[in-house]
Structure 1
Amino acid sequence: MFGVTALSTREKLLAAARDEFAAYGIAGARVERIAKQAGVNKERLYGNFGSKEKLFEAVVSQALAEHTEAVGQPSGDLLEYVGRLFDFHRDNPQVLRLMLWEALHYGDGELPDEQTRAGHYADKVETLASTLGTEPGTRAAVTMLFLIGLAAWPSAVPQLTRTVLPESADMTQVRAQVIDLARRMLRPE
């Protein structure tokens, strides 16, 4: 049949692993469950990725690439950028879960692709600094870190969001407040 492509074994494993790692983290994930969900034997997992850790790295890398594509760079209207960050994390909670599991797994240790990721964020900080008309130093980096945190935190800890906010609050209101806080934070001194 033309025009129909079945998912490759690698794609099936990545999709199944994303669910598994988001739910259980790298330590709690089981290759047997990943293989079963992907409809392959676990030897295919090792044949494609080498180890559970390498599969986790591939899943995180894919999730961050999706994030970058969806959110873009902090240029132009920074409040729109913060809104895009908020929307992405609200709509893709697995990405935050993967990041939190990654933080728990590696702690203060170096990430497998840390240099690449640091370069990615250096580009974002440089773009942000240019947009703000400042130098790409610590101040711009801290601003970037806080914009990400401001936009992502309500989705990162939904139990806290649910227990702190009144029942009448909805995510549209939270998004508007996040953007308002970002506006205040970005005001020149």
Structure 2
Amino acid sequence: MKEFALRGFAGARVDAIARRARINKRMLYHYFGNKQELFEATIMAIQADKEELINTGPRDIADLLAYIHANVGGKRDWMRMMQWEALTYGDREVPAEAMRAELFKPSLERIRGFQREHGILGKETPELALLILIALASYPWLMPQVARMLTGHGPTEPQFRRIYAALLRRMVGYLTRP
């Protein structure tokens, strides 16, 4: 993941990945077939990690958003991987897209529950509701320079993290029907 996160798919080298993993390059090819399959396996591991983060977080939606934001900061490599994937594929289909889309189903069920219980984004489809909640929780980590330019603080700074967590908790109120 570190090699793909640093250089993207095109720039990553299998030799460097094997060195980082402290294994023989032939063994890497034995287990993963080729660089594309290794990249796809890495993306799948990231997707599973994201789903676990969402599904094991606090039950309260306001606390969940703040929790996701706080924990995404420690997952900078997989965020970079997602950015590389976005740059590489744009709006074209990504590797293992159908299988990866299935991994969102538990999160979509959780969103449906939040919509029933709290009315959060109740007029939106669960898919769009989840998309906007993920965007709210992750944007400062994806674009730290914008966060810093707008607030004077980057997302790693305790002051920013405190005020942004409070904002995310308030956002739940804004997104809930009266």
Taking structure 2 as the reference length, the TM-score comes to 0.83
Q: Which residue of 1 aligns with 2:177?
A: 188
Runs of 4+ in 1 over 6 A off after TM superposition: none
Q: Is 1:83 matched with 2:66?
A: yes
- Give the count of matched residue pairs: 170
How many Å apart are 1:99 and its aligned residue? 1.0
Contact conserved, 2:46 with 2:78, CA < 8 A, in 1? yes
**What secondary structure does 1:188 align onto?**
coil
Percent identity among equivalent residues? Answer: 30
Which has the higher mean CA deviation after the structures are superposed, 31-40 or 117-126?
Answer: 117-126
Q: Is 1:124 matched with 2:107?
A: yes
Which has the higher mean CA deviation after the structures are superposed, 142-151 or 111-120?
Answer: 111-120
CA distance in 2, matches of 1:137, 1:170: 31
Report the residue type matching 2:169 in the other structure: I
CA gap of 1:73–1:142, structure 2 versus 1, over 3 A, is farther
CA gap of 1:126–1:39, structure 2 versus 1, over 3 A, is closer
CA deviation string 1:60-114 (max 9, x = no partner):
1112222222331688411122122112211211121111111112222222221
Query: Which of structures 1 and 2 has the larger relative contact order (alpha carbons within 8 angstroms, sep 6+)?
Result: 2
Gaps of 5+ in 2: none
Which has the higher mean CA deviation after the structures are superposed, 52-61 or 158-167?
Answer: 158-167
**What secondary structure does 1:171 align onto?**
helix
Q: Which residue of 2 aligns with 1:156?
A: 142
Contact conserved, 1:86 with 1:175, CA < 8 A, in 2? yes
**What secondary structure does 2:145 align onto?**
helix
Taking structure 1 as the reference length, the TM-score comes to 0.79
Contact conserved, 1:75 with 1:131, CA < 8 A, in 2? no
